[in-house]
Amino acid sequence: MRPPKHMPSAYKILLPTRAFLLSWRDQNLPARHLALEDAAAHFELAPAGDYRDMALLGVIGEAVQCLEDFAVLASSWDSPWEGFGHYLRATEWTPFKTNNFWQEAPRWSDDRIDVLACMSFRNPGADEYVAVDALLAAEGFPIDATSQEAMDIARQATRTRLRRVLGILAADWKQFSPYFLAYKHGGLTLSRSDLVAVDDDVDAIDEDTTIHDLAIAVWRKSSKSEEIAGDELNSAEEIAEIAAGSGRIALDLIDAFIVSRSWTIEALEWGLDGEVESLRPLTIPWTVWLRECDLPSEHWELLGAGPTVTWVDENDRREPPPDDELGAVPAE
């Protein structure tokens, strides 16, 4: 089938967006995975003392970087610049983008969660949302009632799971972001030989003073908050496990984010000149955000990875031949 006449510019939007998503899939994601696992392994082997504190800070830094990456990607597609490729917004840095995302995303509306999951598209100019399945139906790809019901259930399951996971990661961002900033601004760990942690009301240290054992402590860069941040509720091993787990979850979300969007461009057959030549059959990854426990088995059997679309060229449509050409006997 030939591509639609009214398409975004291949050179300004489609091809750069494709390159952006592929670079994340083939370069950034593998690099983030390796960096996180390397930091976790390094911490396991680090000797006790200041060196191990720095190794722990490295685990937190590599893990929370994954949370920042997902926040930048998701917020860029949530609030793109009108008339430009969504990828361009991801190149913009603002000091509060990540904080704002993790504060707000767990409470996003269904429409915004659907855009995040690429189950809907958003027109930033009119602030309108169009569901993918509704768009397909409007373009002449009707979905039968049984499949539509399964897709609706999968959509609601995706909203539920994303809100739950976003809430967990938002809490982890709040917990670990001071250490992440300390890591990015020079590895600002506090040397244990320079630190004695006591209650706020202690003016002088004596033999009766309660000394708190901090698993990690860092200088805070901002002068508007406490000078240091520390953790005495968790052991260093627990902190490393929690932080690394959060980073791995964020990487899974980034992977699903890329897959959920790639079909919109990979459906296009590109020529060597960079022009779109035709459309490929495609599978819409409707269940990419879900796990096996999120849907009943019968819906998994029906949906699988998602609905498949096969394009038909309007010029190839033919009226069915009359009955006599099919060998039917004319009525007497």
Pick 212 or 28 by higher pLDDT: 28
Q: Which of 12-26, 164-178, 308-322 has the highest mean pLDDT?
A: 164-178
Pick 93 or 243 by higher pLDDT: 243
State mean pLDDT over 204-221: 80
Q: What pLDDT score does 312 carry?
A: 63
State mean pLDDT over 225-236: 80
Residue type present at position 181? L
The pLDDT tens digits for 276-285 are 777 788 889 9
The residue behind tokens 């490393």 is 240
Q: What pLDDT score does 81 carry?
A: 84
Residue 131 vs residues 242, 255, 284, 316: alpha-carbon distances, Å:
36, 22, 13, 28
State mean pLDDT over 185-203: 77
What the block records as the tokens of 67 is 């949370």
Percent of the chain clearing pLDDT 90 (strictly above): 49
Pick 298 or 321 by higher pLDDT: 298
| pLDDT score of 254 more than 60 | yes
The residue behind tokens 């370069």 is 27
Per-chain mean pLDDT for the chain: 85
- Position 332 confidence tier, pLDDT thresholds 50, 70, 90: very low
Which residue from 184, 203, 196, 147 is spatially nearest to 57, judged by alpha carbons? 184
Residue 128's H or E segment, with its range, is strand 128-131
In this structure, the chain runs to a length of 332
Residue 221: DSSP 8-state: S
Q: What pLDDT score does 49 carry?
A: 82
What DSSP string runs through 217-235? EEE-S-TTS-SEEEE-SS-
- Position 5 confidence tier, pLDDT thresholds 50, 70, 90: low
Pick 236 or 212 by higher pLDDT: 236
The pLDDT tens digits for 60-106 are 999 999 999 999 999 999 988 887 888 888 888 888 899 999 999 99
Which residue from 208, 159, 180, 157 is spatially nearest to 67, judged by alpha carbons? 180
The pLDDT tens digits for 34-50 are 999 999 999 999 998 88
State mean pLDDT over 217-223: 73
- Position 182 confidence tier, pLDDT thresholds 50, 70, 90: confident
Residue 65: Cβ within 10 Å count:
18
Pick 54 or 199 by higher pLDDT: 54
Single pTM value for the model: 0.85
* Dist CA 62 CA 35 (whole Å): 7
Residue pair 61/39 in contact (Cβ under 8 Å)? The answer is yes
| pLDDT score of 314 more than 60 | no
